[in-house]
Amino acid sequence: MNRRGFLTVITVSVAGFAGCLDDTDAESGNAEHGDSRESTDTERAHSVEYEQCGKRIIPIRELPEPAKEEVMVALEEGEYESEESAILPNVLDIDESYLSSDDDSFRFYRVVVEEDEAVTRLYLKSEYPSTSATASISNALEDDVTVDVHIGYETTDEVLVSETIELKADEEVEFNGDVEYRYGRYNADLTVTKNGSEKSETVSWTINEHREPYSNFIIQTFSEEDMLSKVGGVHYHPLPCEWNNDGKLVEGRTA
């Protein structure tokens, strides 16, 4: 095999009347009609029996409107409170599924519901789903190397791995086997030493539900130039959850 310089591999398996009314009557009438419409909408929303979506991660944008309104109130005010039962627990399994933000911030939430005789309270707890992903380094050189590795979990600024690994030719070693890789972004700083010469590279990857199995990431460092390349695994996009007006799932799998 013709190999040049360094070659290391990092793998992540990882919304008219005639006549007139005075202002008071008009305001009163509008208020009454408004309250009536709001009451009707609320009653209608709570009369729908929703099928639960079985996805592990459900973006907030996919929720039916009544459930989405509960979530937005909980995010903006700290909790959602109602004399009625909450709709959201009927839409997803709050013990198994997570809500995710609709932006690229990688925020995930567990739904927590508390009920007493008079009121239902719903709030969102920030939490990052765990995965079965692992990370390892493979020495694709014909020479033994030493690798200094520092892996950071960007989502919470945690340092997950900081170690020096001795690798024989064609040997593969998993980074700290007890590390739990959760959904979010990762950065790995690597310095490879071979025969007294050093090369450094940084490799970054993201773990989320849109990559299964968790993608492989390869970092290649040559003596003439530094080059970072990634080899992705199989990608898939889970079907979105979509409900009709009767609460039946028309897309996405049931719980």
pTM of the full predicted structure? 0.70
pLDDT of residue 22: 41
Give the H or E element holding residue 157.
none
What pLDDT does 239 receive?
82
Instruction: Indicate the range of 114-123, 158-167, 200-209 predicted with least confidence.
Output: 200-209
Identify whether the C-beta of residue 135 lies closer than 8 Å to the C-beta of residue 174: yes
Helix (H) or strand (E) holding 147: strand 145-153
Report all structural domains of the chain as residue ranges with CATH numbers, in order of start.
8-13+130-228 (2.60.40), 57-128 (no CATH)
For the ranges 57-61, 172-176, 250-254, the one whose mean pLDDT is highest: 57-61
If you average pLDDT over residues 37-59, what whole number do you get?
A: 77
pLDDT band, very low/low/confident/very high, at 133 (cuts 50, 70, 90): confident
Residue 194 has a CB neighbour count (10 Å cut-off) of 20
Higher pLDDT, 151 or 19: 151
Show the tokens assigned to 217.
């990431």
What are the tens digits of pLDDT across the range 85-112? 999 999 999 999 999 998 777 789 999 9
pLDDT tens, residue by residue, 221-233: 444 344 334 444 4
Q: Which pLDDT does position 251 carry in this prediction?
A: 87
